[in-house]
Amino acid sequence: MTSVQDLLDLLILEKVDDTQFIGHSKTVGNQYVFGGQVLAQAINAACRTIHNERILHSMHAYFLEAGQLHLPIVFNVSLVRDGGSFSVRRVTAQQNDTTIFILSASFHKKEEGYNHQIEMKTDLKQPEALLSWNDILHQFGDYLPKRLKTFFEIERPIEFKPTEIVNPLEKKDLPPFSNVWFKLKGDIKNLDLATKQQVLTYISDYNILVSALNPHASVAHWGNTQTASLDHSMWYFRNFDFDDWLLFSMESPNASNARGFARGNIFSRDGKLVASVAQEGLMRPLDK
């Protein structure tokens, strides 16, 4: 999957009937279905049952079973409520009659109201001064752990530029923060808001648990720690475009009981708060 169109084709589901849809999978470098893919596909299914121009404002999801890459995913949408201002949908995703994922999403009619937001960090390097994942692979590939190198070698329609490059060989604990600029590759004009929200949801499952692993970097890394998304929540605040870089600014308030919690804010380059994300993930130390 190398182009934006590849990503859009992946997220737009095949319609079976008014409330059932079928999706397929593409690997992002591991043996199971990428959580961001299922999140975005479920949002696509929910959006296609909304016919009153209401806008997605929040979603909450649980990952129940690892998705199998070779099997189709069947998404069933329950029309929970269509009220005077809000519509709620519940989506279940199944493979071979096993429920692997559930999601609730809420849609709100367009209304005017009060407006405020937190400010984006201003002391971060701009993306033009940073190395992308591809740049890191080309410059330092021979020194990267095998699993990380294999992950970076996968072609993606998204370019990521972390504001800090961590040396995995240093074995040093790091602050529980992570900031990553990201941008879609290629022509991405004329996307409607619902499609942009689905793409943003897909991207939101990248990078977020890094901030939870950072404080344990002296002993923990992706090779000796089993990680998996357990749940994922997202709130969508403002319209935006993909024609410039966006910043995903993340922090981890807690890790305990083999789980790490992380949250983050996504900003446009001019400082507009687009969305907020929260996730708890499995962080299980593996026996040597």
Cβ partners under 8 Å of residue 30, min gap 6: 151
Choose, from 25, 198, 249, 279, the residue flagged as catalytic.
279
229 is catalytic: yes
Exposure of 10 by Cβ count < 10 A (0-12 exposed, 13-18 middle, 19+ buried)? buried
Choose, from 205, 249, 252, 268, the residue flagged as catalytic.
205
218 is catalytic: no
DSSP per-residue letters across 68-108: BTTS-EEEEEEEEEE-SSEEEEEEEEEETTEEEEEEEEEEE
17 is catalytic: no
Choose, from 178, 229, 268, 276, the residue flagged as catalytic.
229
Give 246's strand partners.
182, 268
Helix (H, G, I), strand (E, B) or coil at 162: strand
Q: Which residues are known catalytic residues?
A: 205, 229, 279
